[in-house]
A and B are shown apart, each in its own frame.
Chain A
């Protein structure tokens, strides 16, 4: 009996550590209510014209990309303006419609309409990598830039910091383009394969925005594990819409109304996923905490009640911790009146 049991346990462990591992997702897990601690910016000279993408450095300075002002706004940990980095334009150090931002190892990586610009934390421009495909999302490791892009066979392209393309990985979803009746294939690819890249330092996670599927790769692009989200009506509706029915007209809903998640980040062995307003409403939750090893949701967090969720549109998430070791959730959102960065605990 002992031998059979140990063999079974061994097989289970083997199963958990490799390859595709579909399992029921939204199991009964602990749910915590998060409370607002502080709201940024706390400086009368600073305002956001749109919901910013955010990143933090080790000093908890906040780097907020304002897409409409074409700048990075650096705030100190108390929310006071430190500097504005970049300006609108085409030259080195200029930005055009910046979107994604990452801060790592004393460098700021910001993706705009055409390139990835690299600044040091003081805001001095270092250099940039030109992009030639539509960007879906970005992640950065110690020596590489990972870009999820449309336009090629694989979804994730890997570059070194100097812009040399190293390799590509990540399969796209297989889809019957014919059901879309007239939409260009690149646009369809962009919707269906839309997702968030998260780098843990030793692994890359790609979480799809419409379906919540998680793919874990090593830094060489080998698939280590994946997990399919199931038992979720919102996701099932999206699967039916995007794989069986096809988007035919605007009555099917704009892409951003169908997104399950908005952003994701990695912190201390966990992947934190920020649900979209629509996704949050369907699940009654706002943030999922996912174990990086099993890819299981181990905890969920609620920020808004249902009425608030209709008015609050979250966009970006960063998780860090305070001196007491408690997790702090930095969430940028539109609260119905202003574009703000709220910190929850």
Chain B
């Protein structure tokens, strides 16, 4: 019988299965059981982290690509883009706006496709958005990116704040 490595050797399997007379069953004998156990946990956690990072990167990548379709106007200066579809009134809307509006930062609000002019005006008034901060409606491509960025949120739907440096590179993505 060929051995399939130390972890699955007949000796180990035997120890796992056999119950010694007069002793309590020991299904994980010796140090090797701890190693196998810990390895499996590390693998599971590692796979979860990798999966999460892959998703996040995908959102980052797609946002980076999509932002470049906006007017180059926005890339001469540090820019903040709020991507907002629904304002969850229980959470803090427009994260960091109070601070960003006082900095030398261009601010753009990308809102859902079906926002009416009245909705946008009510939004401005509700959160005291300064008149020179622009509102635009998302197109289908933006809606798709928004969906991708929310694909890992376990049923919760987030809005996003994307901070872009003056060369058009994403500095930070925050979800809220």
Residues of A at the B interface (CB closer than 8 Å) are: 90-92, 96, 113-115, 127-135, 151-152, 159, 162-165
Residues of B within 8 A of A152 (CB): 126
Main secondary structure of the interface of B (DSSP, over half): loop
B86 contacts A132, C-beta separation under 8 Å: no
The complex places the Cα of A128 from the Cα of B90 at a distance, in Å, of 19
| B118→A165 contact, CB < 8 A | yes
Within 8 Å CB of B119, what residues of A? 129-130, 163
Of the candidates B90, B115, B127, the one whose C-beta lies within 8 Å of that of A130 is B115
Q: A132 near B157 (CB under 8 angstroms)?
A: no
Tell me, yes or no, whether B153 is within 8 Å of chain A by CB. no
Query: Does A90 contact B157, Cβ atoms closer than 8 Å?
Result: yes
CA distance A115 to B118 in the complex (A): 13
CA separation between A162 and B122, bound complex, in Å?
Answer: 12
Residues of B within 8 A of A128 (CB): 114
Tell me whether B118 and A163 are in contact (CB under 8 A). Answer: yes
In the bound complex, what is the Cα–Cα distance between A237 and B32 (angstroms)? Answer: 65
Q: Is B88 an interface residue (CB 8 A)?
A: yes
- List 21 contacting pairs A-B, 8 Å CB cutoff, sorted by A: A90-B157, A96-B157, A113-B86, A113-B88, A114-B86, A114-B87, A115-B86, A127-B116, A129-B119, A130-B86, A130-B87, A130-B119, A131-B87, A131-B89, A132-B87, A132-B122, A132-B123, A132-B126, A151-B126, A162-B118, A165-B118
In this complex, what residue of A is CB-closest to B115? A130
Distance in Å: Cβ of A169 to nearest Cβ of chain B:
16
Chain A residues within 8 Å of B118, by CB: 129, 159, 162-165
B90 touches A90 (CB 8 A): no
State whether A130 and B88 are in contact (beta carbons under 8 Å apart), knowing that A92-B114, A162-B116, A162-B118 are contacts in the complex.
Answer: no
CA distance A132 to B87 in the complex (A): 6
Give every chain B residue within 8 A of A96 (Cβ-Cβ). 86, 157
**Is there contact, CB below 8 Å, between A130 and B123?**
yes
Q: How many residues of B contact A (CB 8 A)?
A: 20
- How would residues 28 to 61 of chain B score, 1 for a CB under 8 Å from any chain A CB and 0 otherwise? 0000000000000000000000000000000000
Residue B106, interface by CB 8 Å: no
A132 to chain B, nearest CB (A): 4
Assembled-state Cα–Cα distance A127/B121 (Å): 17
Chain B residues within an 8 Å CB radius of A163:
116, 118-119, 122
On chain A, the residues within 8 Å of B116 by CB distance are 127, 130, 162-163
Counting chain A CB atoms within 10 Å of each CB, the highest count among B93, B116, B127 belongs to: B116
Residue of A whose beta carbon sits closest to that of B155: A88
Q: A132 near B127 (CB under 8 angstroms)?
A: yes
Q: Which residue of B lies closest to A94 (CB)?
A: B86
B-side contacts of A135, CB under 8 Å: 89
CB distance from A12 to the nearest CB of B (A): 44
Which of chain B's residues have a CB closer than 8 A to the CB of A165?
118, 121-122, 125
Contacts A113-B88, A165-B122 supplied; 19 other A-B pairs, CB < 8 Å: A90-B112, A96-B86, A96-B157, A113-B86, A113-B90, A114-B86, A114-B87, A114-B88, A115-B86, A127-B116, A129-B119, A130-B86, A130-B87, A130-B122, A135-B89, A151-B126, A162-B118, A164-B121, A165-B125
